[in-house]
Amino acid sequence: MNWAKEKLFQGILIDLGMTSSKTWIDELSTFLQPEQISTSYAVLEQHSRGESFDEGKMPDVVLFPESTTDVQAIIRFAYEKGIPVTPVAVNSSLEGHTVPLKAGISLDMMRMNRVKSFHPEDLLIVVEPAITYPEVNDYTRRSGLFFPIDPGAHASIGGMVSTNASGTMAVRYGVTSDYVIALEVVTPTGELIRTGSQARKSSSGYNLKRLFCGAEGTLGIITEVSLKLVGLPESASAARVPFKTIKDATEFVTSLIQAGLPIARCELVDAYSIRAANAYNGTNYPEEVTIFLEFHGNEQGVIADAHLAKDIAQHHGAGAFESSTDPRERQMIWQARHTVYYACLALNPGLSSISTDVTVPISKMPEVVELSLSAYRRAGFKASIVGHVGDGNFHLLIFYDASDKAAVERLEQAGHEMIVAALNSGGTCTGEHGVGIRKLKYMEEEHGLSLHYMKLIKQAFDPKGIMNPGKKLPE
Ligand SMILES: Cc1cc2nc3c(=O)[nH]c(=O)nc-3n(C[C@H](O)[C@H](O)[C@H](O)COP(=O)(O)OP(=O)(O)OC[C@H]3O[C@@H](n4cnc5c(N)ncnc54)[C@H](O)[C@@H]3O)c2cc1C
C-alpha cells in the first residue's frame, strides 16, 4: 500500500482513520483483483469531487467492479463492516451526488458498460449500468431504434436512472424512468433483486423499479437495466426564433403546446448566453431571448409544423424565424444552444461555476425566471438561463469567485430565493438534476409528512445507512 507515502509527498493532511481503514482495505484483495482496487492519491482525489461541487472527503479506496458478482461481494463486505459506499459513473451530476461525505468506498461503475442483449423485435435493450446513452444509440441506430433521453453530458444509463435524468427532449419523450422496463439491483444488504419484467406494462406488486429511478444511489447499486426504445423519426425540422422578453418567449411556447404541435425539443436561452455563444462560435445572432425548436415526424409534417410555429411566433412579437430540415443546417440552427455551457464558461475565465435547476408550472415560468434572475443580479452575479421551457424546467449557470466567502454566502441566499419562488409557485426544487447535497434543506418544505415515509423506505432498504450517506434525504 503506497497511501501513506503518497500523502506525505502531497503534503496533505486528511483525517482518514488510517489504522482501521488500512486493515479492511487489505481484505478487499481476497475477492477483487489488484487492478480493481486503487488507493493512489490521484484516483482518490479525482473521486472526491463532483462536477461543479468539490466540498467532499477523500474516499479511503476506489473500487472498480466488473460484474454483478463483484458488486455483490463488495456490498456484502461493506454491509458487514458498516463501510459507506458512494456509487459513481460518468460523474456529470451537478448537486454533489458522487462526493463521498463519509469517506469509505467510492464504487466506480465505469467498467460495467456492456450491452447484454438486444431485442429489436421487442424494442428493448438490456445493458450494464455504465454504458452511456450515446453508446446505446450508436449500438441501436442501424435497427432504426433509439433511446430518446438526452441530458447533454455523455451520462451513463445507471447514472441517468439514478437521477431520473431528462433534458432537451422530455417535452416529447418524457424522462428516463418512462423507459426503464426492469432493473437488477444489489441492495445495501448485499441481496440481488430484480424488479419489473420484459412485459411492456404491469399492475403487479408495488412499483419498486420507479423507486430506484431517482434514488441517487441511496437504495442500492443498479447492475443491469432493461430499456425501452422508440423508432427513429423519419424526418426532423429545426427552428430558432428570438424574442424581446422571457415573457413573450414563454407565452409563445404555451401557445405552441396548446396548438397541439408535436414538439420534440423546445429550449429557451437568455440574451446573456446568446452573447456568450456568439463570442465563442464567432456568430452574430440577435442577442435576445431565443427559443430553439425541433419537430419529429415525416418530411411534410415537420415542414408544416415549422410553418405553423412561425405563424404563432409572429403573434407573439418574434424576430426573424429560421428553420430547416437539412441535417447540417439543423445543426447550425442549434449550435448556440449546444455550445452554451462551454461558451458561458469561456466568458468567465478564472471564476467557478455552479449549475442548478428548478421546475415550475409552465404558466408560472416567466415570473419565476425573472424573480430568480433578479435575485442573482441583486447579489452581484452574472447568471445564464437555459430552460427546457416545454415542461417548465429551467437551469441557471452562475459564476462566482470561490475564494470570496461573502460572495459564496450571497450566492447561497440568491439560490434560496429562487427555490422558495419555485416551491411557492407549486413547483419543485429540482426537475432533473436531483437533490444530491445542495437541495437537502428543501426536502421537508417540499414533501411535508411524505418525507417521513421516504425515510422509512430508506431505513427498510439500508438499515445501516451505508449507501451514499448524506444524499437525497436529510439524515
Ligand atoms: C453540461 C451538463 C449538462 C447537463 N444537462 C442535464 C440535463 O439537461 N438534464 C439532466 O437530467 N441532467 C443534466 N446534467 C446532469 C447529469 O448529466 C445527469 O444527472 C446524469 O444523469 C448523471 O449521469 P452520470 O453517469 O454522470 O452519473 P454520476 O454523476 O456518476 O452519478 C449520478 C448519481 O447516480 C448514482 N449512480 C451512478 N451509477 C449508479 C449505479 N449503477 N447504481 C446506483 N447508483 C448509481 C450516483 O451515486 C449519483 O448519485 C448535465 C450535466 C452537465 C455536466
User: With a 6 A CB cut-off, is 159 part of the ligand 1 pocket?
Assistant: yes
User: With a 6 A CB cut-off, is 356 part of the ligand 1 pocket?
Assistant: no
- Closest residue to atom 11 of ligand 1, CA basis: 165
CATH architecture of the domain 115-231 equals 2-Layer Sandwich (3.30)
pLDDT reported for residue 11: 40
CATH 3.40.462.10 in the chain is located at 235-424
- How large is the C-alpha radius of gyration of the chain? 23
pLDDT reported for residue 153: 86
pLDDT reported for residue 239: 97
User: With a 6 A CB cut-off, is 131 part of the ligand 1 pocket?
Assistant: no
User: With a 6 A CB cut-off, is 430 part of the ligand 1 pocket?
Assistant: no
CATH 3.30.43.10 in the chain is located at 3-108
Cα separation, 433 vs 431, in Å, equals: 6
User: With a 6 A CB cut-off, is 45 part of the ligand 1 pocket?
Assistant: no
User: With a 6 A CB cut-off, is 140 part of the ligand 1 pocket?
Assistant: no
Instruction: Quote the pTM value.
Output: 0.92
CATH architecture of the domain 3-108 equals 2-Layer Sandwich (3.30)
Contact of 25 with 77, CB cutoff 8 Å: no
Our measurement of the distance from residue 457's CA atom to the centroid of its chain's CA atoms, rounded to an integer in Å, reads 23
Contact of 21 with 35, CB cutoff 8 Å: no
145, β-bridge pairs: 231
User: With a 6 A CB cut-off, is 340 part of the ligand 1 pocket?
Assistant: no
- Say which CATH topology domain 235-424 has: Vanillyl-alcohol Oxidase; Chain A, domain 3 (3.40.462)
What is the block-wise mean pLDDT of the chain (475 residues), using blocks of 10 residues? 42 42 88 97 93 78 98 98 98 94 97 98 97 98 96 94 94 96 98 94 94 98 98 96 93 89 93 95 96 95 96 96 96 94 91 91 89 92 88 91 92 95 97 95 97 98 98 94
Run of H or E residues at 3: helix 3-10
pLDDT reported for residue 53: 62
- Closest residue to atom 49 of ligand 1, CA basis: 216
For the chain, the three-class secondary structure string (H helix, E strand, C coil) is CCHHHHHHHHCCCCCCCHHHHHHHHHHHHHCCCHHHEECCHHHHHHCCCECCECCCCCCCEEECCCCHHHHHHHHHHHHHHCCCEEEECCCCCCCCCCCCCCCCEEEECCCCCCEEEEEHHHCEEEECCCCEHHHHHHHHHHHCEECCCCCCCCCEHHHHHHHCCCCCCHHHHCCHHHHEEEEEEECCCCCEEEEECCCCCCCCCCCHHHHHCCCCCCCCEEEEEEEECEECCCEEEEEEEEECCHHHHHHHHHHHHHCCCCEEEEEEECHHHHHHHHHHHCCCCCCCEEEEEEEEECHHHHHHHHHHHHHHHHHCCCCCCEEECCHHHHHHHHHHHHHHHHHHHHHCCCCEEEEEEEECCHHHHHHHHHHHHHHHHHCCCCEEEEEEHHHCEEEEEEEECCCCHHHHHHHHHHHHHHHHHHHHCCCECCCCCCCCCCCHHHHHHHHCCHHHHHHHHHHHHCCCCCECCCCCCCC
pLDDT reported for residue 262: 86
pLDDT reported for residue 12: 43
Q: Measured from the CA of 185, which atom of ligand 1 is nearest?
A: 42
